[in-house]
Amino acid sequence: MKQIYIAGPWVFRPKAEDFKADVRSLLHGSGMDPVFPTDCLSDGTAMDVSCAAAIQAHCLAHLDACDIILAEVSPWYGHMPDAGTVFEIGYAAAKGKDVFLWTNDDTPLRDRLIAADLMEVNARGNGTDDRDGNLVEDFGAPVNAMLAVYPTCRSLREACEAILGMAN
């Protein structure tokens, strides 16, 4: 049975248990076992939330034991994904894990910044710099180029289906 680490800001939202139930339902009977950051480790160790280092060690232990990471990269606290989730994606990628992403907002990052009036656009509709003069990567993706190389699905259901399709 393959284990899938389920990353994302869902852990901070109300009804996190409902989200976990949805994931379990989508993967039920597939031979894929979802692992959530808040789950106990395989030795029964519960997550210690008393300090950041303990939380990180717990999550990395889960990631080490998993084959795949499924991470939500929806905008969080602004226009980019949750920083902790991005860290977990990078860690999983460095360990050679399969990476799948999903977002509830697939608006290209450039368009998101324009809509928020954070990017200058000239008369021809072009713009490559934000208001501070920083280059904005424009690959038409909802995420930064370093994440855009991974399959990015438009919903949790679509991402689970992509993972199941890979397994077959």
The yes-or-no verdict on residue 110 having pLDDT over 90 is no
Quote the CA–CA distance of 94 and 97 in Å, as a whole number: 8
The pLDDT of residue 92: 98
The yes-or-no verdict on residue 168 having pLDDT over 80 is no
Q: Which residues contact 36 (CB under 8 A, 6 or more apart)?
A: 6, 11, 20, 23
Task: Quote the mean pLDDT of the chain.
Answer: 92
The pLDDT of residue 117: 86
The yes-or-no verdict on residue 75 having pLDDT over 80 is yes
Stretch 121-125: mean pLDDT: 64
The pLDDT of residue 114: 86
Let me know: does 10 contact 88? Beta carbons within 8 Å.
no
Q: Which residues contact 45 (CB under 8 A, 6 or more apart)?
A: 58
The pLDDT of residue 44: 94
The tens digit of pLDDT for each residue in 78-102 reads 889 999 999 999 999 999 999 999 9
> Which letter does DSSP use for residue 129 in this model?
B
What global pTM score does this model have?
0.92
Let me know: does 144 contact 137? Beta carbons within 8 Å.
yes
Parallel, antiparallel or unpaired: strands 32-35 and 2-7: parallel
